[in-house]
Chains A and B, each alone.
Chain A
Amino acid sequence: MSKRNTTRLLVPLVAILLGFALGALVLIVTGRNPGAMFLAMFQGATGVNLKAGSFNPRYIGEFIIQSMPIMLSGLSVAFAFRTGLFNIGAEGQLIAGSVAATAVALWVEAPPVIHVLLVLLAAAVVGGLWGAIPGFLKARFNIHEVVITIMMNYLALFLNNWMVLYVFGSKDRIKTALFPATALLKDDALSALTNGSRLNWGFVPVLLSVLLFWFVIEKTTFGYSLRAVGFNKDGARYAGMRVERNMVLSMAIAGGFAGLAGAVLTTGTFNYGRFLPGAEGYGMDGIAVALVGGNGAFGVFFSALLFGMLKAAQPLMQSQGVPKEIASIIQASIVLFIAMSLGIETLISKLRKQKIEALGEEAGV
């Protein structure tokens, strides 16, 4: 592997280590045992309780379902970013996708597998439209996508709540009626396999999305032109690429990934549409995941697992007397360290040089 590539991998790894170290430091300074935090995280990821020597696969299932939606919102942010667009709107696209998923789940009757596929399709398409609107406004009128996507996050939230209360109908003003079994990604077999976790078939569309992202961006002519636009709009225009069309399509596909996350949540983790008192942070998590994952498909895959693990470990940490906010501190500091990546890169190259010099001295050169 070339030095450039190793550095590209090394930077996030160092940032992650520093993030954990900082989390541990905060615990030590406040007089708590950082060991409990690491035990809780280990248990959250593997289901193994090292202290009690027990194993519960339920934790693995919960870890996976925590990772799924942020993996998709991470892909969403990363995809737009590869075209040079900053998609703050994954949250809204996800909610728009949930609304579509709820509508198809409740209103459409279809045989088992077909119904789920329709739900996923509808969520991706509506999420995609939700993303395409800011893309279009940017391409046509040069209105900054950050402003529009933030506005559309609120729009999606209110649309969802209005739909849940007045269109889908909610008896308890919290959730819609339960979905028919044909519409669900939920499966009792998977749940039973993981000792009653909420694990569901959502991981299939999520993994396919990761592969799709990788294939489209790295392998296709379309991905090539998106990357060209992302790096240098003027250069892409000179080369004859359709810059505006690419921006709209990129935002639409980004929205599609986020919309899919909406379906995975509503028909996988839950089995009803929900009234949302406020944003749930999937969009922001997506930004963090994309940043740490270097906006690549597999980077996003691993960083979503990392942040999913942190989320899954929170209740465990709390039960061990470790405040669950530590997980947020770790997540935030990892993001911060990545943002300071230039500094980390210099640090790495300095260390490398020192090592080489030290080796040279040892060898008597």
Chain B
Amino acid sequence: MAFVIEMLDIDKSFPGIRANDHVTLQVEEGSIHALLGENGAGKSTLMSILFGLYQPDAGTIKVRGKEVRITDPNVANGLGIGMVHQHFKLVHNFTVTENIILGLEPRKGLVVDTRKAEKRVEELSQLYGLNVDPRAKIEDISVGMQQRVEILKMLYRDADILIFDEPTAVLTPQEIHELMGIMRRLVGEGKTVLLITHKLKEIKAVADTCTVLRRGRLIGTVPVAETSEEKMAEMMVGREVNFHVEKGPAAPGDVVLKLEGLNVKNAKGLLGVKDVNLEVRAGEILGLCGIDGNGQTELVKAITGLQPVESGRILLGGRDIAHLPVKRRLDLGLGHIPEDRHKHGLILDFRLDENFVVHDYMRRPYARAGVLDTRAIGAQAKKLIGEFDVRCGQGGATPTRSMSGGNQQKAIVAREIDRSPAALVVAQPTRGLDVGAIEYIHKRLVAERDKGKAILLVSLELDEILDLSDRIAVIYGGRIVGVLDAKATNENELGLLMSGSTNKVA
């Protein structure tokens, strides 16, 4: 079969890092070709080169057998290459159709012929089973729908090589399932799909071929049907990966963190957390699971002081911290790995070493008499970078913004665990991370538990909750609807509790 895309011996460097190192990728026409690799492996860089966003330092690109120079995305479009980025590029107060035709509006005289465009969008949507309303405003439709608009945008431009950069990171399980169907339909109509991901399950579900990158290097290209998940994980990470967290039995001690009759308002001004009572003991991980938007965010923010408490008490080591400022809570032994690492967890425009001391910059050894000790801060950065294997191009001086998501998250985890708080509130610690990083972060959390810390783990991933927790609390509609022993429950029981169909208050 003919290769529709050939990227041969591609090199691309950024300051301090070789993002692509002699990478070769050959894609067969009409196939779903997955590009697998940990965060920072160079997947997006390679695809950005194919889409004309970056120029390779060396190497050749052939499209349909012909050597080409893709100097910008317009050239890529001309070659029939389209890309759905990790972050969508849609105008929110425009309709679906207006977004799709942006830049190549069909005209009738001087007037944009929206009617005609709408009809075409409708047709395409039907053909590929996308189910998009051409007249809906972007701001009114779900993230999954917005992604389909991006797909339609490519199809409208007659692209037949479609690049998806981590398309499932923003989707719910149901939407992921539907997207897989759409991809199959696309190749059924003769398109070629390039799927960037670090999720093995998805590759197993749809891809024909899989190319694995690690630290910028090509590890290999394998047929998916004949390769096990374990094998692909090993290729990606460079060693055998444990999918299951190994941990001994918990040895719970005294109650460290206790919530009593906690009520918290949500953004709409209604009670998002209702009369919550919970206890987290030293040496245990209490998992809190629930469908997104059932009060988890408000609960975490209330405990950590980012949002005011309506009523109730939050006891940390027996002391009510419900109305203390953030700083006091941290000083009393609270740690927080936040859900949103860009909004809360990091100051992206700081250097990495500056980010390691955001809580303790005013203390010895990082400061003396109000003056920063850059040497001590640098030493701390060096220690954490080494200990937690944070990959960054320029050590402590690396601009945090330039780091990959996984390494940013590792930096946060490193900082919070290094502070060694008695109670650690952990929200979505591995969202968007690859298996290697997930495995590592899980291990560190279990190690903290074994050191006798109390850990409250909030996650939307049931697997993560089941793997890590000793006890599991389920939240639904702002209330705790069940607290279960992790060993004695399963996905089904949790699923029912999470959807509010049963109630099992201990």
Kindly state whether residue B15 has any CB partner on chain A within 8 Å: yes
Find the residue from A2, A3, A235 having the highest chain B CB count within 10 A. Answer: A235
Docked Cα-Cα span, A227 to B354, in Å, equals 11
Given contacts A220-B372, A221-B361, is CB(A235)–CB(B344) below 8 Å? Answer: yes
A219 in contact with B371 (CB, 8 Å): yes
Knowing A219-B372, A221-B371, A221-B372 touch, does A238 contact B15 (C-beta < 8 A)?
A: no
* Stretch touching chain A among B234-242, B322-330, B437-445, B485-493: B322-330
* Complex: A4 Cα to B343 Cα, angstroms: 24
Q: How far is the CA of A123 from the CA of B256 in the complex (A)?
A: 53
Interface residues in B266-294 by Cβ distance below 8 A to A read: none
Contact between A232 and B330, CB atoms less than 8 A apart: no
A212: shortest Cβ distance to chain B, in Å? 13
Considering the chains assembled together, what is the distance between the CA atoms of A79 and B117 in angstroms? 51
Q: 8 Å CB contacts to B: which residues of A215-234?
A: 219-222, 224-225, 227-228, 231-232, 234
B330, A240: Cβ atoms closer than 8 Å: yes
Asked if B306 is an interface residue, CB under 8 A from chain A, the answer is yes
Cβ contacts under 8 Å, B449 to chain A:
none
B198 CB within 8 Å of chain A: no
Task: Indicate if the CB atoms of A238 and B336 lie closer than 8 Å.
Answer: yes
A228 lies within 8 A of B371 (CB): no
Query: Which of B101-109, B146-154, B159-167, B345-353 forms part of the interface with chain A?
Result: B345-353
Residues of chain B from 356 to 392 with CB closer than 8 A to chain A in the complex: 358-359, 361-362, 367, 370-372
Chain A: CB-nearest residue to B341: A235
Interchain CA distance A220-B366 in the complex, whole Å: 11
Q: Please give, as numbers and ranges, the residues of chain B lying within 8 Å of A235 by CB-CB distance.
A: 343-348, 358
Q: In the complex, what's the smallest C-beta–C-beta distance from B9 to chain A, in angstroms?
A: 16
* Bound CA span A225–B343, Å: 16
Is the CB of A242 closer than 8 A to any CB of chain B? yes
**What is the predominant secondary structure among interface residues of chain A facing chain B?**
helix
Residue of A with least CB distance to B368: A221
Query: Does chain B have a CB within 8 A of A8?
Result: no
B295 at the interface (CB under 8 A from A): no
B347 touches A237 (CB 8 A): no
Q: In the complex, are the beta carbons of B327 and A242 less than 8 A apart?
A: yes
Q: Is A236 engaged at the interface, CB distance under 8 Å to the other chain?
A: yes
* Contact yes or no, A239 B358, CB < 8 A: yes
CB distance A221 to B306 under 8 Å? no
Bound CA span A241–B346, Å = 13
Chain A residues, Cβ within 8 Å of B349: 231-232
User: Given A2-B15, A238-B306, A225–B347 Cβ distance below 8 Å?
Assistant: no
* Alpha-carbon distance A227/B329, docked complex (angstroms): 23
Interface size, A (range): 20 to 34
Interface centre among A220, A221, A242 (most CB of B within 10 A): A221
Question: Shortest CB–CB separation between residue A199 and chain B, in angstroms?
Answer: 34
The answer for the CA separation of A3 and B326 in the assembled complex, in Å, is 38
Q: Which residues of A21-43 have CB atoms within 8 Å of chain B's CB atoms?
A: none
Contacts of B406 in A (CB 8 A): none
Complexed CA–CA distance, A232 and B327 (Å): 17
Asked whether B37 is an interface residue with its Cβ less than 8 Å from the other chain, the reply is no
Contact with A along B307-320 (1 / 0, CB 8 A): 00000000000000
A232 touches B347 (CB 8 A): yes
Given contacts A2-B15, A221-B361, A239-B358, A234 and B344 within 8 Å (CB-CB): yes
Cross-chain contact B326 with A221 (CB below 8 angstroms): no
Query: Contact at A228–B370, with CB atoms within 8 Å?
Result: no
Tell me the bound Cα distance from A220 to B325 in angstroms. 23
Give the docked Cα–Cα distance between A237 and B336 (Å): 12
Choice from A3, A219, A236 contacting B347 with Cβ under 8 Å: A236
Is B338 positioned at the interface, with any CB of A under 8 Å from its CB? yes
Which residue of chain B is the closest to A215 with respect to CB atoms?
B371
B344 neighbours in A (Cβ, 8 Å): 234-235, 237-238
A241 to B348, alpha carbons, bound, how many Å? 16
B306→A225 contact, CB < 8 A: no
Nearest-neighbour CB distance to chain B for A296, whole angstroms, equals 14
**Across-interface contacts of B343 in A (CB, < 8 A):** 232, 234-235
Contact of A240 among B325, B338, B367 (CB under 8 A): B325
Tell whether, in the assembled complex, residue B372 and residue A238 are in contact, meaning their CB atoms are under 8 Å apart: no
Complex Cα gap A231–B342 (Å): 11
Distance to closest chain B CB from A21 (angstroms): 29
Q: How far is the CA of A232 from the CA of B358 in the complex (A)?
A: 12
Among B304, B326, B338, find the residue whose CB has the most chain A CB atoms closer than 10 A.
B326
Give Cα distance in the complex from A201 to B348, angstroms.
42
Chain A hits for B348, CB < 8 A: 231-232, 235
Q: Which residues of A contact B336 (CB under 8 A)?
A: 238
The answer to whether A231 and B350 have CB atoms under 8 Å apart is yes
- CB neighbours of A225 from chain B (8 A): 361-362
Convert A194-222 into 0s and 1s, putting 1 for each residue whose CB lies closer than 8 angstroms to a CB of B. Answer: 00000000000000000000000001111
Known pairs A4-B399, A228-B350, A239-B358; list 18 more (Cβ under 8 Å). Answer: A220-B372, A221-B362, A221-B372, A222-B370, A224-B354, A225-B361, A227-B350, A231-B348, A232-B343, A232-B349, A234-B343, A235-B344, A235-B348, A236-B347, A237-B326, A238-B306, A238-B344, A240-B329
Contacts A/B (CB < 8 Å), 21 sampled? A221-B361, A222-B370, A224-B354, A225-B361, A228-B347, A228-B358, A231-B348, A231-B350, A232-B348, A232-B349, A235-B343, A235-B358, A236-B347, A237-B326, A237-B344, A238-B345, A239-B326, A240-B330, A240-B359, A241-B327, A241-B358
Binding site for B on A (CB under 8 A): 2-4, 219-222, 224-225, 227-228, 231-232, 234-242
Instruction: List the 10 closest pairs (A to B, CB-CB), nearest first.
Output: A240-B327, A239-B358, A238-B344, A231-B349, A240-B326, A221-B362, A221-B367, A235-B347, A232-B347, A231-B347
